Chain A
Amino acid sequence: AQSVTQLGSHVSVSEGALVLLRCNYSSSVPPYLFWYVQYPNQGLQLLLKYTSAATLVKGINGFEAEFKKSETSFHLTKPSAHMSDAAEYFCAVSDINTDKLIFGTGTRLQVFP
């Protein structure tokens, strides 16, 4: 069965600092991987996705993630945090054999001035 683990339910950074949100996956077949962002009282918005093309994926709002098969990881990064990045971030996994996404438990990002 597929799963994702998000290390750290809360991450705090200063405005302008590097953002690093961790995601490790488990999948018996080549995975598709996703990062979503959720602002308070809203639905989830797709940040970026990996579907077996380039291992470094660039998304919206300056975020990017790198697929590392040897580490079974898909960590999300942003060089410089902005106050508007404060939200909850979810990693998700799927594969070619299924049409459903399996989500992690989320990481809440706080950005301090």
Chain B
Amino acid sequence: NAGVMQNPRHLVRRRGQEARLRCSPMKGHSHVYWYRQLPEEGLKFMVYLQKENIIDESGMPKERFSAEFPKEGPSILRIQQVVRGDSAAYFCASSPPADSLTYTFGSGTRLTVV
């Protein structure tokens, strides 16, 4: 049973480009969460999704950021027109419906904006 798969592990983008981060949850997990980690800071909640629904996006910046979790395929975190301040590690976690607070984390995508 594969864990939470995130790809790519490392992503370099120039300012103004788009970044797409992918997350495949564990089998049987229907809840997906995205967190951002900046150096010397903890993990900041961004968005919580279930299949085809955004449940809580209170941590998402109002502009340039979007997330989806389609019926088929991985969850995508999309950052448009990236800026240097978007450089961070982005972690995805998933959990099963019967125990939604027991997260399994992926290894993260480290985004560097140059």
Q: Which residues of A contact B (CB under 8 A)?
A: 9, 32, 34, 36, 41-46, 49, 51, 90, 94, 98-106
* Further pairs besides A43-B91, A106-B42: 14, Cβ < 8 Å: A32-B101, A34-B101, A36-B105, A41-B108, A43-B106, A44-B105, A46-B102, A51-B101, A90-B43, A98-B56, A99-B31, A101-B45, A103-B43, A103-B44
A42:B55 contact, CB within 8 angstroms: no
Interface 1/0 per residue, B21-44 and A, CB below 8 Å = 000000000010101000011111
Could you tell me the distance in whole angstroms from the C-beta of B35 to the nearest C-beta in chain A?
8
B101:A99 contact, CB within 8 angstroms: yes
24 A-B residue pairings within 8 Å (CB atoms) = A34-B101, A41-B108, A42-B108, A43-B4, A43-B91, A43-B106, A43-B107, A43-B108, A44-B43, A44-B91, A44-B93, A44-B103, A45-B105, A46-B103, A90-B42, A94-B101, A99-B56, A99-B95, A101-B101, A103-B43, A103-B44, A104-B42, A105-B41, A105-B42
B residues 32-70 near A (Cβ < 8 Å) are 33, 35, 40-45, 48, 55-56
